[in-house]
Amino acid sequence: MDYQTYMQERAKRTKWFMEDRFGMFIHWGLYAIPGRGEWVHSDEKITQKEYQKYFDEWNPERFEPKEWARLAKEAGMKYAVLTTKHHEGFCLFDSKYTDYKSTNTACRRDLVREFVDAFRAEGLKVGFYYSLLDWHHEDYPVYGDMYHPDRENKEYEHKKYDFSKYLTYMHNQVRELLTEYGKIDILWFDFSYEGHYGKDWDGEKLVKMVRELQPDIILNGRLEANGENYGSVMSDEPNIFSGDFACPEMIIPPYGLKTPKGVDIPWEACFTLNNNWGYAPLDKHYKSASQIIKKLVECTSKNGNMIINISPTAKGEIPSMQVEILQQVGKWMQKNGESIYGCRAADIEKPEWGRYTRKGNTIYAHITEEVIGAIAMPGLKGKVERARRVADGFEMRLFTPWVAKEFPDYEFINYGTPECFSFSVEETVDTVIELRLK
């Protein structure tokens, strides 16, 4: 496929994605029981024999996927991605290729199917996270591997394995996920590392299968990347492993993402609500709703998405603090979501008081800092037809105050008289002004 055709197809596939802007990530697995993050198996070098106890007691009896879906919708999210299998190898779906799955535990439930049904019922798009790593599979490298929990365990020093058998297993499970659950909107692979990149995963065959089974699905770039870099999606000659979008983790690119030739790259910043992806009840370092809103605005203003993670308990409940934060985000989104959905970079100078987003002939001024006097808007002098507060339609005055004659390149807006007015940010978060251009 030539480059131009590829870019056209990528743009078509990602159109909805770059309009929806806001999604929910869900990290959930056996690691919720020890509650020390999703990497506890590897970080603490817990042996397979020791880790088995978590499989034996897995029973999320309070899992109510409809409640999860309602929370996502209430928060203003448009899509959700669930960890169908994390690095530990435990499957939340009824795979016929393994016994290490939720339907073989005390809960006897296909948790992926329930997730899909519940989120679709709320009108949300659904995505599957699938780990390329698998610390449970007998043919996945153990001794000397960079991350395997038993990487230093002498018992495995001379263990033989056939990686081709693991690849067959992995490809078969991806096929299951893309044939047994209807239309899937996103496939989120995680992740490549030394000795395990693109071709090592038999990636060309894998991507071709994915495209044949689900032609409209969008892929992230971690079939050839690991989070430290974004792979060839950043280039003007992406390869078959590049995926459709980059996924910066716990960082927002300073200026958005473009190829060397200046072509916009679809991207999605992924964030935790506290400092862990998996359930960690002792981690109380939560981001505020205000911070989440401002970062979502920042992503949108740079042509990017944001997906924010929840980490349910072993019983299947979303921690109350996470629920409260997302509900607060939802209250802002209900009034101001039009400044996010379908919006992109305004391509004008960033103002000191906040950010701009744009949709067609409308600029949205996101005022996140209090302003003394009229609000000075760089890049918009003589271009604005009218200004209205998005939350309630309240008119903003367009005028140049007498103290601003020295700044002829700026447009100014204010609530009204007096001309020098101390502007307070609504709810100390982000007051959004709709600026209709002439």
pLDDT at position 285: 98
With bands split at pLDDT 50, 70 and 90, how would you rate the model's confidence at 430? very high
Please return the burial class of 180, using the count of CB atoms within 10 Å of its CB with bins 0-12, 13-18 and 19+: middle
Domains, the chain, ordered by start: 3-339 (3.20.20.80), 354-437 (2.60.40)
Concatenated DSSP letters for 146-206?
SS-TTTT-GGGTT----HHHHHHHHHHHHHHHHHSSS---EEEEE--BTTBSGGGGTHHHH
User: Is residue 314 over pLDDT 60?
Assistant: yes
What is the rounded average pLDDT of the residues 275-298?
98
Which tops the pLDDT comparison, 207 or 227? 207
User: Is residue 367 over pLDDT 60?
Assistant: yes
The Cα 178–Cα 163 span in angstroms is 23
With bands split at pLDDT 50, 70 and 90, how would you rate the model's confidence at 2? confident
What is the rounded average pLDDT of the residues 266-286?
98
What is the rounded average pLDDT of the residues 260-289?
97
What is the rounded average pLDDT of the residues 272-279?
98
pLDDT tens, residue by residue, 86-95:
999 999 999 9
The Cα 223–Cα 215 span in angstroms is 18
pLDDT at position 416: 67
Q: Pick from 404, 366, 307, 303: which is nearest to 81 by CA?
A: 307
Q: Which helix (H) or strand (E) holds 111?
A: helix 111-121
pLDDT at position 419: 52
What type of residue is 53? K
User: Is residue 85 over pLDDT 60?
Assistant: yes
With bands split at pLDDT 50, 70 and 90, how would you rate the model's confidence at 274? very high
User: Is residue 424 over pLDDT 70?
Assistant: no
Q: Which helix (H) or strand (E) holds 271?
A: strand 268-271
As given in the structure block, the two tokens for residue 190 are 């995680």
pLDDT tens, residue by residue, 46-56:
999 999 999 99
Please return the burial class of 162, using the count of CB atoms within 10 Å of its CB with bins 0-12, 13-18 and 19+: exposed
CA end-to-end span of the chain: 42
pLDDT at position 422: 53
The Cα 343–Cα 337 span in angstroms is 10
Q: Provide the mean pLDDT of the chain.
A: 95
What is the rounded average pLDDT of the residues 320-340?
98
pLDDT at position 48: 94
User: Is residue 395 over pLDDT 50?
Assistant: yes
pLDDT at position 427: 56
pLDDT at position 156: 96
pLDDT at position 420: 47
What type of residue is 259? T
User: Is residue 57 over pLDDT 50?
Assistant: yes
User: Is residue 245 over pLDDT 50?
Assistant: yes
Q: Pick from 95, 206, 92, 251: which is nearest to 222 by CA?
A: 206
Q: Pick from 63, 80, 66: which is nearest to 29 by CA?
A: 63
pLDDT tens, residue by residue, 139-197:
999 999 999 999 999 999 999 999 999 999 999 999 999 999 999 999 999 999 999 99
pLDDT at position 404: 87
pTM of the model: 0.97
